[in-house]
Amino acid sequence: MPLGERGPWDKSESRYCGVETDFSDDVPHLISFNLALGGFDFIVAPLMDPSYRPSLVQKNESVSNVMPVAGSDLVLSPSQWSSHVVGKISSWIDLDSYDDTLRLDSETTLKQEIAWASHLSLQACLIPIPKGASCANYARCVNQILQGLSNMQLWLKIPLVHADDDPEEMKSDCWNDYWELWNSFRLLCEHHSQLYVVLDIPSSLPSENSIGRWFGESVKAVVLNTDCFLTNARGYPCLSRRHQKLISGFFNHSIQIVVSGKALHKLPGGSSGSADLHSNKNVDSVQKHPLRVYLDYVGYLYQKMDPLPEQERFELGYRDFLQSPLQPLMDNLEAQTYETFEKDTVKYLQYQRAVAKALIDRVPDDNASAVTMVLMVVGAGRGPLVRASLQAAEETGRRLKVYAVEKNPNAVVTLHSLVKLEGWENFVTIVSSDMRYWDAPEKADILVSELLGSFGDNELSPECLDGAQRFLKEDGISIPTSYTSFIQPITASKLYNDVKSHKDLVHFETAYVVKLHSVAKLAPSQPVFTFTHPAPSMEIDNRRYKKLNFEIPNDTGSVMVHGFAGYFNAILYQDVHLGIEPSTATPNMFSWFPIFFPLRKPICVQPGSALEVHFWRCVGSTKVWYEWCVASPCPSPVHNTNGRSYWVGL
């Protein structure tokens, strides 16, 4: 069973824990011992006798040519094989060995074992870490196998260590940073979507930045060896605070735990924990599974995690799901879209605060009952900004005349119903028109809009408000008064593979709205484009260009940049702001997810190298689009030239 069901609202977040075992001819007994007795959810078990070598079978005629596998496929049902067993490929294989016999034996055995695992309908196989400085032949063979797999995943085991953390230990090692090994391997396998990484957790952890980059990689599981555990005052296993934080992070990213090694701690009831974790012999002499105390501790860590906030629960289904941005001028929003946005009470409270401050600034208390302010909501939708503005007027004791301007005729129907329902007929006028072409009967004191997109200007707020500012008084107030877009480089293997699966240029040159989750943010975000309203000059030019340089922290190690996360921060009025830029994000607001600009070919950045990025906002007669590229450490193509793949229609 899973580590725990943390309430009926959180069942989808249950996590699973497996155990690594040695080879056994009796797989049903192995499962019974580790799952029924031990309480684990699955086993990671060798499928073939480790003494088997194809070359020995060929030389010795007396040896049967039948592979010594772990029981026939009939010992378990297909569903049991699939749900309870992860295949563990023989650890002795070395496909890049200089010994031709070992290399050929390794290649034959790898293909035989994975073919057998596929026959058993296993969901995954754990393949061992490459042995030497080169992994080209190993990766070639794995890539060949991946081309023929339909459902099964291959998990490559990689140690979570970095040379800077323990230089003495790694002086003789051919890899200074095992991320480099993983990167070489997955590049040789063309970023195949069924190739995953399994991290082997050491007792001494690398830096936070070095660990952080893995959260953007295709990590499926982590191996937690018993020698990582400390001993508490009662003699039971526990983990350091850093390990606890790491395991909680893995839980949050749906990464499974695999316990491995010998039992080094006492068992409940005082039994010795010296039994071999992998062995299933003499089971009757052990009252409880020797690893159960480690499973219980992992379950304890899961249970004590804070429950997901309401906003996170709402967003669960959107995590790492690519969505096309809205086309607000070309398309009319549907009722369901309006309803989703209208549930974001935080956003409208911020607008209400901004309008209240603007009203107080425009009308002194002495004139509050004598002066009526003209406020125009441009892009009124189904009326939430109208309501927020009227509530601000009531709160401040100011008088307000409101024009609700909306181009969507379907939303206008709802606005008319709302005005009658709320009794707003005397101070709300509904205008069914595009704000850019409407001739206002009078000038406005305050102009209110919510035309912002995930990247600030990507839903054409500048163009719309430029067209509307002609009916704002010279000293009039625009809410928002300004907004700035931001970008930051990210590792996002899942998003990259999702874009890559379309096998065309268009999807790599499209910006997507996405709830970022399985990503690694590689450097702090930097501002890109800023727009201010009302525009200070009548000669308005909304084209923009920005060059940015990002520094990846040295202790991170090498990283792979799959693209850029985009955000915005908007000043509504004075000190009232809202936005999604991580360092200043408005808490508990869900109207906007970040935007993702992919790279056609990911860029590897070495420690100490600068990442030079160029972004353009281009404006034509009928559309607005973005172009982007990397100039250093190695140039990428300019993406989306002339808006050939992605644009926003005017």
Structural contact between residues 153 and 530, judged by C-beta atoms closer than 8 angstroms: no
Instruction: Please state, in angstroms and rounded to a whole number, the distance separating the CA atoms of residues 576 and 481.
Output: 10
Q: Is position 294 annotated in a ligand binding site?
A: no
3-state secondary structure (DSSP) of residue 71 = coil
SS3 assignment, position 392: helix
CA dist 81 and 28 (Å) reads: 10
Place of tokens 């809202």: 578
CA 488 – CA 581 distance, rounded (Å) = 10
Q: By the 8 A CB rule, do 269 and 235 touch?
A: no
Hey, how many other C-beta atoms are within 10 angstroms of the C-beta on 434?
A: 17
Q: How far is CA 93 from CA 24, 55, 109, in A?
A: 19, 13, 8
CA distances from 644 to 271, 618, 623 (A): 69, 12, 11
Name residue 569's amino acid: N
Tokens of 51: 């003494």
How many whole angstroms separate alpha carbon 230 and alpha carbon 114? 36
Integer Rg of the chain from CA: 30
Kindly write down the DSSP assignment for every residue of 90-101, as one continuous string: -TT--TT-S-HH
State both tokens at 64.
């049967």
343 has binding-site annotation: no
- Find out whether 347 is annotated in a ligand binding site: yes
Distance from C-alpha of 161 to C-alpha of 476, rounded to nearest angstrom: 59
Q: Whole-angstrom Cα distance, residue 309 to residue 588? A: 9
Burial class of residue 117 in the structure, from the number of CB atoms within 10 Å of its CB (0-12 exposed, 13-18 middle, 19+ buried): buried
The C-alpha torsion from 499 through 637 and 548 to 163, rounded to 10°, is: 70
User: Which residue, 47, 39, 21, 119, is CA-closest to 78?
Assistant: 119
Query: Is 435 flagged in the annotation as binding?
Result: yes
**Residue 196 is labelled as binding a ligand:** no
Asked if residue 545 belongs to a known ligand binding site, the reply is no
Segment holding 411, helix H or strand E? helix 409-422
DSSP H or E run through 89: none
Chain centre distance of CA 128: 27
Catalytic residues: 450, 459
Say which residues have a Cβ less than 8 Å from residue 459's Cβ, sequence separation at least 6: 325, 326, 328, 451, 452, 453, 648
What residues form the annotated binding site for S-adenosyl-L-methionine? Answer: 338, 347-348, 406, 434-435
What residues form the annotated binding site? Answer: 338, 347-348, 406, 434-435
